[in-house]
Amino acid sequence: ALITGAAFAADKPKVEATGAEPKNTHIIITAEQLDSDNKAKFAEFSGNVKAIQADFVITSDKLRIYYKGELLNTEKKGSDEEVLKKIVATGNVEITTDQYNAKTEKLEYDTASMTIVLIGENSTVINGKNSITGSKIILYQKDGRIKVLGGKNKRIKAEFFTKSETSDELMLGKPKQ
């Protein structure tokens, strides 16, 4: 699958990688241009790129997919997981799922390990009011883990709320009643 949802400190229940997410849902990619190199085994989409798989949407300036075998002859191969090796999105990358939203400058997704890496000084993952920001965010889809790294001159920032808190209460430091 392109990418399944990851949860962190969420109000919604966690969805396991083996849960209800469809594994072999097809991917729809729209863009202004496509350049493909069958020898090098990649296809690069550019210009207002939008990739959709089930409830997972990536928008970016460019999106490159690396594949095995013949991209257009997938019936011999089977599922997308067997064809796609890696996906790299660059430039104004936004990710939307039913569990979280994210923004970054570069996304790398390895289909075998089901690992999403967000790279960029202000990469952010948002779930409800909760958010995590860092220079590199690694979402380990198989086991629901997340790792956030800061940059040379910037530390990570995590902001979590309880259900009874509002952003104003936390920011103003008002005592809970």
> How many residues can be counted in the chain?
177
Per-residue pLDDT, averaged over 144-170, amounts to: 80
Please state, as a whole number, how many other Cβ atoms lie within 10 Å of the Cβ of residue 99: 21
Report residue 146: phi and psi, to 5°: -140, 140
Kindly report, residue by residue over 30-51, the tens digit of the pLDDT: 999 999 999 999 999 999 999 9
Confidence check: pLDDT of 57 > 70? yes
Residue 146, Cβ density class (10 Å: 0-12 exposed, 13-18 middle, ≥19 buried): middle
Give alpha helix (H) positions in 2-126: 80-83
> Could you tell me the pTM of the whole model?
0.74
Contact 142, 112 (CB under 8 A): no
CB 83 within 8 Å of CB 74: yes
- How is residue 138 written in tokens? 């690694």
Return the closest-CA partner of residue 24 out of 73, 86, 89, 77: 77
Q: What is the mean pLDDT of residues 12-16?
A: 35
What pLDDT shows up at residue 68? 86
Alpha helices in 34-79 (DSSP H): none
